[in-house]
Amino acid sequence: MNLYTALGYRLANYAGLSALVGTRIYAVNLPQNVTYPAVTFQIISGLPRTHLMGSDDALAAPRMQVSAWDPDLTDAIAVADQIKAALQDYTGTMGGDGGITVQRIFIESEQIDIYDPEVGVHNIAQDFIVWREES
């Protein structure tokens, strides 16, 4: 299973978040004419990898950005709070059966509000480092 699928599964199956956004959780981009509130997530960078003479380390640590979207700032913050609750300090198998092994998820930056006046929507972005094992 890839990281996008596993993270989407984790977010969609976190009760506090799904109560607010339903199934409106999207990889990378919001669709046109989206209903709010909604969530997007994407890999934005990775930490340097460890290389060994015989093989590479099987531990990866990509930085994921997860964003809450809503025209109302209070509602966007409520969604962002649930994103943080779903991911911060998570350990275990993410993605259900056949998912990926996560050693821990750390929050790197919290609730950066970016308002787009043309669209009239708040984007509350948070960055997480996902320490995961690669197979």
What one-character-per-residue DSSP string does the chain give? --HHHHHHHHHHT-HHHHHHHTT-EEESSPPTTPPSSEEEEEEEEEPPPPB-SSSB-SEE-EEEEEEEEESSHHHHHHHHHHHHHHHTT--EEETSTT-EEEEEEEEEEEEEEEEETTTTEEEEEEEEEEEEE--
Domain span at residue 39 reads 3-133
Confidence (pTM): 0.90
CATH code, 26: 3.30.2000.30
Query: Count of domains in the chain?
Result: 1
pLDDT, tens digit, 9 for 90 and up, residues 71-129: 999 999 999 999 999 999 999 999 988 899 999 999 999 888 899 899 999 999 999 99
pLDDT, tens digit, 9 for 90 and up, residues 34-44: 999 999 999 99
